[in-house]
Amino acid sequence: MKVFRSARLFFLAALLCLVPASSFAGVFISIGIAPPVLPVYVQPPCPYDGYMWTPGYWAYGDDGYYWVPGAWVPVPTPGYLWTPPYWGFEGGHYLFHEGYWGPHIGYYGGVNYGFGYMGVGFAGGEWRGGHFFYNTAIVHVGGGFHNTYVNETIVHNTTVINNNHVAYSGGPGGIQHQPTAEERTAMSERHVAPTAAQQQHIAAAAHDPQQHFNANHGHPATVAAARPMTAPAHTQSAMQNHPAQAARPAMGNTPQAHTQMAPANQSRPAAESRPAPAAHTAPAARPQMESRPAPAAQSRPAPQSHSEPQSRPAPKPSGGEKPHGHGR
């Protein structure tokens, strides 16, 4: 059975390779098990100008769910933004929608990943004249950055409240947020698939047993990458102000779990006390976009019960403190 499934995944992954980048971002996995809740973690500072944060998420393989750590990534093309992947409950199953690069942020299910990806659009920064400016009310940057600004209003206007830290959209207990007009427009634009560095990052997580839910029970060994991803050769144009960045080492598997709790004025996924999901329908794996290494077969987690989050503006922070944890 496992051999048949692997062969099927390989065959369909090969077919998907023929899909042009302009039509990228479809549904590639369908299963009957809800993804686990999102863990809490602290964002490491941006190491280089021109890098963009890609939030962590739960991916799925032959061994069940595994956590792909959040990481700073070189932008493949100046002016492009990252739309995160998301799980959506459709037709009785949980369907995975792959993330992509594009000129605008598309729909990602209303899932609040934090650090600018508050459920709608992106509040962590913006492009100005071919240069990216970081909103330090949301993201954490290192020293020496001059292209920064502070805008907390956008946070309050785009935050989807998700106190239960649900990782999927729709269905029982899922995020209830329909695409906005802007998100629908962005969904029809030209999209670029995850870069080679991102694909290697995903493969590394799939190979690491400690990233798998059935081993970590919702507490991955590496929640956020301690080092940024290496820039592929074709992204040099995005680093024109820092040409030496492409030679930096790639993100390793150095464990660096962060479990600090978010301040009360933020919506961040909780890392504690995660109940194991109870069985929905039996998993019916549908192939992924790419052929990922299959870990050894183990028992898969049962679906998780969540209370339904609401989509409404987040309350205005009461103090002047500027946190950097998940959800901002």
Q: Say if residues 89 and 172 touch (Cβ distance below 8 Å).
A: yes
Q: Where exactly are the structural domains of the chain?
A: 2-247
What span, in angstroms and rounded, lies between the C-alpha atoms of 125 and 99? 18
DSSP 310: -
Q: Residue 184: how many CB atoms within 10 A of its CB? A: 12
- For residue 220, is pLDDT > 70? yes
Q: Judge whether residue 39 has pLDDT over 80.
A: yes
Most confident range, picked from 147-156, 212-221, 232-241: 212-221
For residue 156, what are the β-bridge partners?
none
The predicted pLDDT at position 28 comes to 62
Q: Which residues, in sequence order, are CB contacts of 95 under 8 Å at separation 6+?
A: 27, 29, 30, 87, 88, 89
pLDDT in tens, 175-203: 999 999 999 999 989 899 999 999 999 99
**Burial of 147 by CB count in 10 Å (0-12 exposed, 13-18 middle, 19+ buried)?**
middle
- The band of 255, judged by pLDDT with boundaries at 50, 70 and 90, is very low
pLDDT tens-digit map of 48-87 = 999 999 999 999 999 999 999 999 999 999 999 999 999 9
**What does the pLDDT average to over 226-254?**
45
Q: Is the pLDDT of residue 1 over 90?
A: no
Q: How confident is the model at residue 167 (pLDDT cuts 50, 70, 90)?
A: very high
Q: Nearest CA to 57 among 66, 48, 44, 47?
A: 66
Radius of gyration of the chain (CA): 19
Contact criterion met (CB below 8 Å) for 24 and 98 = yes
